Structure 1
Amino acid sequence: MAETPEPMYELAHLGHAELLTPAYDRSLEFFVDVYGLDLVHESDGSAYLRAWSDHDLTTLKLTAADQAGLGHVAWRAVSPQALERRVAALEARGIRGEWIDGDFGHGKAYSFVSPSGQRMELYYETEKYRAPRGKASYLPNQPQSSVARGVGAARIDHINVLAQDVPAAREFMSETLGFKLREHLIPPGQPEVGAWLSLMNKAHDLAITKEPAQATGRLHHLAYAVENREDVLRAADVFCELGTDIEFGPAKHSRTQGFFLYVLEPGGNRIEVFSGGFHIFSPDWEPVTWTTEGQGRSTAWGLDVPSSFHSHATPVLP
């Protein structure tokens, strides 16, 4: 019997992401008034935001830029020692990043570019959110009151990035950082076009899907979670009432089994409202291989996928 590789639990979760936008004022208005995040700090052309159930001070950095896209995505280590070990593993793999002093809300971080072209950071030190008067919950185990604006996004959930070589990208994330492959999509006679990975027991913290163009480093979408399916349905009404066009959903994903809704924020980045998704408690989970979208049903319940979902990503190509 082949020896089972020791699972690696040195990164804890998706910590924060930076989105670039060419429409800073309108994007900020969207994330605060429509998506329902709180603005906690603004300086030097960037806004720092949080969702009401995020335990860290900030999970989204919104930065003014010439074009939309991902500035960086950051993963939090489980300890300072784990951070040092993962940096050593990256450098042993030939990755040459650099230590940065940190940013608003978090301490020093190791910044590097992944093989698929996205800038990533690893860090441990973070500032916890302490609710001011008027925002504290009656529940002491909840970071903030759940009384929310707009969609009322609850917490950062996952990110989907594009890669020219999906297997190589997910193998890198697994072997150096400890991501576990949960599901992947391999159409008959074609290479792998999608992989869904997680760090602990979620269905996914990271999705890697096939880049449709000759480009690297692009973002497919960033997702925040809400508490339940009804909140996703309510989000659809909120978007319609407040003038945000719905691209896709509400519906249920086949992979992850999450309930979803996608829109484009004013800068052009795709944003998801997500709920549910299965959880993994088995230490010897066997990755599920899909051969078609939804076993021939497109999505789990048969809703067709719009063509824009496969073609649009940020930065938008000429």
Structure 2
Amino acid sequence: MTASLGDVAHLGHVELLTPDLDASVGFFTDFLGLTVSGHSNGSVYLRTWDDYEHHSLVVTAHTTSGVRRTALRVSSEEALQRRVKEIKNAGREGTWVEDEPGIGRLYVTTDPDGHELALYWETEWYQAPDELKPALKNQPQAKPNRGVGVRRLDHVNFLASDVAANGDFLRQVLGARPTEQIRLDSGRIAGQWLTFSNKSYDVVYTEDRTGSNGRLHHIAFASDTREDILRAADLAIDTGVFIETGPHKHAIQQTFFLYVYEPGGNRVELCNPLTRLVLAPDWPLITWTEEERKKGQAWGLKTIESFHTHGTPPVQA
């Protein structure tokens, strides 16, 4: 039985691992324009200017790159208890923790592939210090005067050994709705885009060709306009940020994109999906075939090979 849409409100924040903490933090603050909101035990907490919570991203020092925790805010305490019950009914283990600033209790579990997911309700609304207060009271923080100035954390794309199983878990247990997917000629689902709200997607699962578990394809930050992404490309070449592919437009979800690598090795997407919402309650799942995907992106750009091979943490060949 599919859980009802709405118990999970939105993607809250993601924790990235990096072998070069200072350089990674510099990338997110200087290039993307995020603000540091705290430090704790080898982790730095950062936020986008239009996020209402304490942090949008946690960057943690580690021996390698990758993703640790992905946190999802639920819509109420009752919704949290319902989802915890369904997680247990599905046979997934979990535990309660309270280990992040500005966040209350989190229920930490994993998806079938081993990615750490945390659900929470209690959160501290961000109060900007005087130097970051906005002119408009319905905006949590003034726009940054440096870097790209990304607006919010948009989505996370996990690599998975079994896309369908992970998509089913999000759909049946957490109440996500799949909006688009890729089905190979063999019948196997190679990619699936899922949403918890009226956004076109919050979480993506992409097939991990190495057969590994628990790896990351990328995290994505949304910009105000397409022009911000074009400017980001210029800033990247001026500051030595590696551009993997783009700017261009995806066929799937029609997102305007630029993919770069942060110094720790994690892939980061800058995207502009803000004009595309899924408002229809009976939105049909769009399925792309293997032949259709061979055509590349929306305007004919072929998908770069590293898009299929690069993930974090790296896997030994």
**TM-score of the superposed pair, with normalisation by structure 1:** 0.96
Question: For residue 299 of structure 2, what is the aligned residue in structure 1?
Answer: 301
Question: For residue 184 of structure 2, what is the aligned residue in structure 1?
Answer: 187
Q: How far apart, CA to CA, are the structure 1 residues paired with 2:82 and 2:134?
A: 37
Q: How far apart, CA to CA, are the structure 2 residues paired with 1:69 and 1:249?
A: 22
Q: Post-superposition shift, 1:99?
A: 0.4
Q: In the TM superposition, what whole-angstrom CA distance separates every residue of 1:236-275 from its partner, at most 9, and x where no partner exists?
A: 0111111101001100011111111111100000011010
Q: In the TM superposition, what whole-angstrom CA distance separates every residue of 1:163-195 from its partner, at most 9, and x where no partner exists?
A: 111111101110000000100001223411000
Alignment: residue pair count: 315
Q: How far apart, CA to CA, are the structure 1 residues paired with 2:293 and 2:138?
A: 41
Q: How far apart, CA to CA, are the structure 2 residues paired with 1:197 and 1:237?
A: 31
Q: In the alignment, is residue 154 of structure 1 matched against residue 143 of structure 2?
A: no
Task: Determine if contact 1:55/1:129 at 8 Å carries over to the other structure.
Answer: yes
* CA shift in 2, pair 1:234/1:316, >3 Å: same
Q: How far apart, CA to CA, are the structure 2 residues paired with 1:177 and 1:222?
A: 20
* CA shift in 2, pair 1:101/1:64, >3 Å: same
Task: Determine if contact 1:76/1:122 at 8 Å carries over to the other structure.
Answer: yes
- State which of 306, 310, 313 in structure 1 corresponds to 2:311: 313
Q: In the alignment, is residue 217 of structure 1 matched against residue 217 of structure 2?
A: no
- State which of 93, 113, 130 in structure 2 corresponds to 1:116: 113
Question: For residue 91 of structure 1, what is the aligned residue in structure 2?
Answer: 88
Question: For residue 58 of structure 2, what is the aligned residue in structure 1?
Answer: 61
Question: For residue 272 of structure 2, what is the aligned residue in structure 1?
Answer: 275
Q: How far apart, CA to CA, are the structure 2 residues paired with 1:294 and 1:157?
A: 26
Letter in 2 for 1:164: S
Q: How far apart, CA to CA, are the structure 2 residues paired with 1:21 and 1:144?
A: 27
Identity %: 43
* CA shift in 2, pair 1:265/1:295, >3 Å: closer
Task: Determine if contact 2:243/2:260 at 8 Å carries over to the other structure.
Answer: yes
Question: For residue 129 of structure 1, what is the aligned residue in structure 2?
Answer: 126
Q: How far apart, CA to CA, are the structure 2 residues paired with 1:64 and 1:296?
A: 38
Q: How far apart, CA to CA, are the structure 2 residues paired with 1:83 and 1:158?
A: 21
Where does structure 1 differ by over 2 angstroms across 4 or more consecutive aligned residues? 4-8, 187-190, 292-297
**TM-score of the superposed pair, with normalisation by structure 2:** 0.96
Consecutive unaligned residues in structure 1, runs of 5 or more: none
SS in 1 for 2:189: coil
Task: Determine if contact 1:107/1:124 at 8 Å carries over to the other structure.
Answer: yes
Task: Determine if contact 2:3/2:175 at 8 Å carries over to the other structure.
Answer: no
SS in 1 for 2:234: helix
Q: How far apart, CA to CA, are the structure 2 residues paired with 1:245 and 1:75?
A: 30
Q: In the TM superposition, what whole-angstrom CA distance separates every residue of 1:35-61 from its partner, at most 9, and x where no partner exists?
A: 111011112100000011111110101
Q: How far apart, CA to CA, are the structure 1 residues paired with 2:64 and 2:234?
A: 29
Question: For residue 104 of structure 2, what is the aligned residue in structure 1?
Answer: 107
SS in 1 for 2:170: helix
Task: Determine if contact 2:2/2:171 at 8 Å carries over to the other structure.
Answer: no
* CA shift in 2, pair 1:102/1:85, >3 Å: farther
Q: In the alignment, is residue 199 of structure 1 matched against residue 199 of structure 2?
A: no
1:230-245 matches, cutoff 5 A: 230-245=227-242
